[in-house]
A = this chain, B = another copy of it.
Amino acid sequence: MSAFASLNEFRNILAAMPGPDDVAQAAAEARNGQLTKPPRALGRLEDLAIWYAGWRGQERPEIRSPQVIVFAGNHGVAARGVSAFPAEVTVQMVANFQTGGAAINQLANTFGARMDVHALDLENPTADFTKGPAMSEAEVVTALLTGWNAVDEHTDLLVTGEMGIGNTTAAAAISAALFGGAAKDWTGRGTGVDDAALEAKAQVVADGLAANADRDPLEVLRCLGGRELAAMAGAIARARSLRIPVILDGFICSATAAVLACAQPGALDHCVAGHVSAEAAHAELLRRISKEPLLSLNMRLGEGSGAALAIGVLKGAVACHSGMATFESAGVSEG
């Protein structure tokens, strides 16, 4: 039996999600104060470790089984010339993921993460959202369930990545629909369009907004999103239900996460922003969902690459927290 069969059932699941384990989090905070370092000397690593401990329900957690899931989808709006790459690159890159040749494969290997790839109905692009909704309810629910079911319940840290020619256009439209502002303010160069194509892309976003006005957040996802975005939303929600912390990736992942945040306040409490990308509107989008990025390295690849790189930061934070000696155990004088 499926976890949910409609957007409304998914909405109800979001409303009933668990929070962190306050007892474990308090124990981790107390432990942090006893470790052999000056107070706050590990800076943000301390906050990360305590946050992670709370979600995992353990005073001294470990990160042993990170999972990276890459979802791929095709977009009707790709036919409108919104990308510097042709639409067939989506399926070509799925093959590249499967044979281990993409950036995300190298990063998953580097940080000891399992990697899974889910291609979502690539031969059937979503509808062109400038003409109406990108997906039917059945289509978006199927995509959400793909993401929901893709999360390994034994995972202890999740990264959701994406591939889909045209999907920064979808993410821009979602962001504008959720937070307002002009289409051009949310539209960036994606894989690298020139000035003329950027202007045309912003017009596609504006047309999509006009054709799909006044929707609630999950309807925004259905009408302006894509299958890989919906799948990421499903995976992020499933991770929350399992109390698995999530590292968000760039603009597209953050836009899909923002749908959850707007649908249900606090829905991203188990998430941290892995990085701020070079895609123009990502920094503003992170401000809207109140996430401070861990890394800022001018990346803009997608695939989960920025988030995967941040697995190292999380691993380091948790390793310090759980592995360090205390002042008492090490016989070090406190200040």
| Residues of chain A having any CB pair with chain B under 8 Å | 35-45, 83-86, 88-89, 92-93, 95-96, 99-103, 105-107, 109-111, 191-192, 278, 294-301, 305, 308-309, 312-313, 315-316, 319-320, 323-325, 329-335
- In the complex, which residues of chain B have a beta carbon less than 8 angstroms from the beta carbon of A102? 36-37, 324-325
Inter-chain contact A38/B84, CB cutoff 8 Å? yes
Of the candidates B41, B101, B312, which one forms a contact with A191 in the assembled complex, judged by CB atoms under 8 Å apart?
B41
Inside 8 A of A299's CB, which chain B residues have their CB? Answer: 41-45
Is the CB–CB distance between A105 and B44 below 8 Å?
no
Give the distance in Å from the alpha carbon of A192 to the alpha carbon of B103 in the complex.
41
Q: Are A330 and B99 within 8 A (Cβ)? A: yes
Q: Closest 8 interchain pairs by CB?
A: A101-B325, A312-B312, A43-B298, A41-B301, A106-B319, A84-B335, A38-B191, A106-B323
Q: A95-B330, A102-B324 are in contact. List 8 more A-B contacts (CB 8 A).
A: A35-B103, A86-B333, A88-B333, A92-B330, A103-B324, A109-B319, A111-B312, A312-B313
CB distance from A207 to the nearest CB of B (A): 23
> Which of B99, B106, B333 is the one whose CB lies under 8 Å from A320?
B106
Q: Which residue of B lies closest to A311 (CB)?
A: B312
State the oligomeric state as a number of copies: 2
Task: Out of B40, B92, B309, B333, name the residue touching A316 (CB < 8 Å).
Answer: B309
20 pairs of residues in contact across A and B, judged by CB atoms under 8 Å: A38-B192, A41-B191, A41-B192, A41-B299, A42-B305, A44-B297, A44-B299, A45-B297, A85-B333, A85-B334, A93-B332, A96-B330, A102-B325, A110-B319, A111-B316, A297-B313, A308-B316, A309-B313, A312-B312, A312-B313
Contact A312 to B316, CB < 8 A, known contacts A324-B103, A330-B95: yes
A329 to chain B, nearest CB (A): 7
* Alpha-carbon distance between A43 and B191 when the two chains are bound, in angstroms: 12
Are B323's CB and A109's CB within 8 A?
A: yes
Among the listed B35, B43, B333, which residue makes an inter-chain contact with A297, where contact means beta carbons less than 8 Å apart?
B43
B residues less than 8 Å from A316 (CB atoms): 106-107, 110-111, 308-309, 312
